[in-house]
Amino acid sequence: MNRIVIVTGSTRGIGYATAAEFLKHGDRVVVLCRHRNHVEKAVKDLAASGKGEDVLGLVADIRKPKDVGRIVDQVLEHFGRIDVLVNNAGVAVYRPIEETTDDDWDRILDTNLKGTFLFLRQVLPVMRKQRKGIIVNISSGLGVEGMAGFSAYCASKFGVVGLTKVIADEVDLPGIKVYAVLPGAVDTTLVAGSGLEMDPADLLKPEYLARRIFAVAEGKASSGSLVEVYS
């Protein structure tokens, strides 16, 4: 399809599987996270498919406005446009609210919600200029229903849903569409490290979710749609 796709938090789990899915279909993919060694390994693994020239690895902290602005500038300099943005990067902790620290709250909200906001603010003007683009924000089933022990995570993912609705209402160009994908629990290190005891057989596989994200990014549904993926 030859689109230029940015996937945040794409060196492992859902993000990596999503980058691989877009690459498989002929798109060019920007892989990024905060850790250079993780980026280098992801790029090497993705390039093993024989499409190394279609993968750009970048290092940035999505919680920092200057880093996000630099990433967008680098992508435009390298590829010339941005066709798809997948806001995937996310973190979580599982503990009662009275045990949730200020650092927990700030880290989760800054990564899951502020990072999404910063990329939206930087990429939307690019897409407006192009008069086309697709944005897929990865929220969660816990972005529409609360669950004990996930106060900060739920707050952030509810916020992602709200941002999605706002942007869909703000953008009046038919060529630009924004969606939120709301998965159930996925077999990733985030879930494994959350403290929840879950049977891996009951979890969604990252590759399956990646295929659903790719389908959403085809832009066939109405802008502002929430796409639940529980099975």
Which residues, at least 6 apart from 206, have a Cβ–Cβ distance to it below 8 Å? 13, 14, 16, 17, 18, 186, 187, 188
Cβ atoms 189, 13 nearer than 8 A: yes
Cβ atoms 204, 183 nearer than 8 A: yes
Residue 44: Cβ within 10 Å count: 12
Q: Partners of 6 in the beta sheet?
A: 30, 85
Q: What is the DSSP letter of 35?
A: -
Burial of residue 69 (CB within 10 Å: 0-12, 13-18, 19+) is: middle
Q: Which of 153, 179, 208, 230 is catalytic?
A: 153
Which residues, at least 6 apart from 215, have a Cβ–Cβ distance to it below 8 Å? none
Cβ atoms 184, 231 nearer than 8 A: yes
Q: What is the DSSP letter of 216?
A: H
Q: Is 179 a catalytic residue?
A: no
State the Cα–Cα distance between residues 173 and 107, nearest whole angstrom: 34
What are the catalytic residues?
153
